[in-house]
Chain A
Amino acid sequence: MATLLSVERVSKSFGAVRAVDNLSFELDQGEALGILGPNGAGKSTLFNLISGDIRPSAGLIRLRQREITHLPSYERCRLGIGRSYQIPQPFGRMTVFENVLAAASFSSGRGESACYDLCIEILGRAGLLDKCNRAADTLTLLERKRLELARALATQPTLLLLDEIAGGLTEGECHELIEVINALRGTGVSIVWIEHVVHVLLAVVDRLLVINFGKFLAEGEPHAVMANAAVQEVYMGIEAE
């Protein structure tokens, strides 16, 4: 399998705090990678580095062998990196449809009318079709999370970064989410997923990384990683799942 994303010895410091400390990993085309770690372990910072919200203090990031370490986030989006935030940040004064439409047309550079079908299809999959014309800031938290995912999908990513999208969902909703994500994988999208809801993560990912204090604690086949003593020590009592 061809390597899609490679993160090479990347570090990011905020003042004296090393949020991400010399991390390296690769992601193959079509692979789904899960990232676990306690709060403050540097997971979201890692996503910010990959999506281009912030620049690393050291290290390289490549997408399909091309170095993107210093590319602005809008160009990374156009190269196929899609992202959903942990806290949904819809464009509140735009309608749900406009949110998705904007993402679809900006990211592809296509005219809006060329994106209508895609948007309707994605909104259908996200279960938001009936909320199409509502202003996004009137949505409930769950709906916002769905919109966040729909908007990321509208950019038609080859690499999708999911930041804690299962948090706060009911069992049934988690199930639906797993189906949506697995269906996505079927279309060849590679996924990096940060999640605290471990059983949801395990239902999807091929490989698991555990981060603590900005460094790798463990990496490998998901169930083996979960059985790892160091991981259990960090997680025991923190996650009931």
Chain B
Amino acid sequence: MYWINTIIQGALVGGLYALFATGLSLMFGVMRIINLAHGDFIVLSAYLAVVVINCIGVNPLVALAVVVPLMFGVGYLLQRGLLNFTMGSDILPPLLVTFGLSVVIQNVLLELFSADSRRLQLPWLETASVRIGDQLAIGLMPTSVFVVAVIVIGGIEFMLYRTDLGRAFRATSDDPDTARLYGVNNRNIYALATAIALAVVSIAGVLFGIRTIFDPTIGPARLLYAFEVVIIGGLGSLWGTLAGGIILGVAQAIGAAFDPSWDTLAGHVVFLVVLLFRPRGLFPKTFDP
């Protein structure tokens, strides 16, 4: 029973990891941009929620209604005003610029909010659970996060394969020059991709902030998780990303069950094993080359 509990908890955390990874995967899939500031945008979203909660005194879930559109706008402007100018045949400029962004965001957050750890309070939901038997308790919050992850990923998959915007993303991903010839304005499409990516990131960031404490410097570690999830799941497939998240979450939970200090290590080990034996990930699909 103990192990079942461990695995379920791990799998539920995996939903959050999958959310971390989804934005990263989308930006890479559409634009081949590896956003090194991805983790810092997660943290930035959590701090934005802190500000919204302090200003208008709502609970974190209501704050999402402000943070998500805000980050969507940030993403659009970021791509249109900055990242679009870094794109070309060379993959180095976007890496350098997003790395720079990462440093800037961390330091701005440090300046504004100090290095103190924060947490988004959600009094009832964060502790509520459903008890199954006497050893198994399933938290409502982790379950909700997992459900949100499934809905978001399902929504993005639907968008990619069933809507004109999604087809524009896939066409641009396939061949940007040809897509332009058929009336696609790449710069706008790229901006929308980053906007959607950051909107997803903001959901992940707020849920993350409810789940655990955060401070301005923890972004890069979340980026690492996101990378691992994308690689484990296989590039280009968002359902694979969800599976990758679950695998990483379960690995960490099992590691932690042996010794609490092993949780991150166990995740990295599983990641390395996958990289070694299935370098294209467990569920490789496309919309990437």
Residues on A close to B: CB < 8 A? 51-53, 72-75, 77-78, 83, 85, 89, 91-94, 98, 101-103, 105-109, 111-112, 151, 154-155
Mask for B91-125, Cβ within 8 A of A = 1, else 0? 00000000000000000000000000000000000
Q: In the assembled complex, how far is the CB of residue B25 from the closest CB belonging to chain A, in whole angstroms?
A: 16
CA distance A74 to B190 in the complex (A): 14
A158 to B: closest C-beta gap in Å: 14
Known contacts A103-B183, A112-B163; is A91 also within 8 Å of B177 by CB? no
Given A111-B164, A112-B163, A112-B164, the answer on whether A106 and B174 have CB atoms closer than 8 Å is no
C-alpha gap A91/B181 in the complex (Å): 12
- Give Cα A151 to B168, complex, Å: 14
Does B171 belong to the interface (CB within 8 Å)?
yes
Q: Is the CB of A102 within 8 A of B167?
A: yes
Please state if B183 and A107 are interface contacts (CB–CB under 8 Å): yes
Q: Which 8 A-B pairs have the closest CB atoms?
A: A107-B183, A106-B183, A103-B182, A77-B183, A91-B174, A73-B180, A102-B167, A74-B180
On whether A72 and B164 interact (CB within 8 A), knowing A91-B175, A91-B178, A93-B170, the answer reads: no
Contacts of A73 in B (CB 8 A): 177, 180-181
Q: Distance (Å) between the CB of A54 and the closest chain B CB?
A: 10
Q: Are A83 and B181 in contact (CB under 8 A)?
A: yes
The answer to whether A151 and B182 touch across the interface, beta carbons within 8 angstroms, is: yes
**B74 close to A (CB within 8 Å):** no
Residue of B nearest to A91 (CB): B174
Q: Interface on chain A toward B: helix, strand, loop, or mixed SS?
A: helix
Q: Which residues of B contact A78 (CB under 8 A)?
A: 183
Closest Cβ neighbor of B182 among chain A residues: A103
Inside 8 A of A151's CB, which chain B residues have their CB?
182
Residue on A nearest B174 in the bound complex, by CB: A91
**Cβ proximity bits B147-187 to A, threshold 8 Å, 1 near / 0 not:** 00000000000000001100110110011011111111110
User: Contact at A72–B185, with CB atoms within 8 Å?
Assistant: yes
Which chain A residue shows the least CB distance to B168? A106
Which listed residue (B179, B186, B286) contacts A93, Cβ 8 A? Answer: B286
Which B residues lie within 8 Å of A109 (CB)?
A: 183
CB<8 Å pairs between A and B, sample of 30: A53-B181, A74-B181, A74-B183, A74-B184, A74-B185, A74-B186, A75-B185, A77-B181, A77-B183, A78-B183, A83-B181, A85-B178, A91-B171, A91-B175, A91-B178, A92-B174, A93-B170, A93-B286, A94-B167, A94-B171, A94-B174, A98-B170, A102-B184, A103-B182, A103-B183, A105-B167, A106-B171, A107-B182, A112-B167, A155-B183
CB distance from A88 to the nearest CB of B (A): 10
Instruction: Please measure, in the bound complex, the distance between the C-alpha atom of A83 and the C-alpha atom of B286, giving whole angstroms.
Output: 27
Once the chains are docked, how many angstroms separate the CA of A116 from the CA of B103? Answer: 48
Supposing A105-B164, A111-B164, A112-B163 touch, asked if A94 and B170 sit within 8 A by C-beta, the answer is yes
Min CB distance A222 to B, Å, is 28
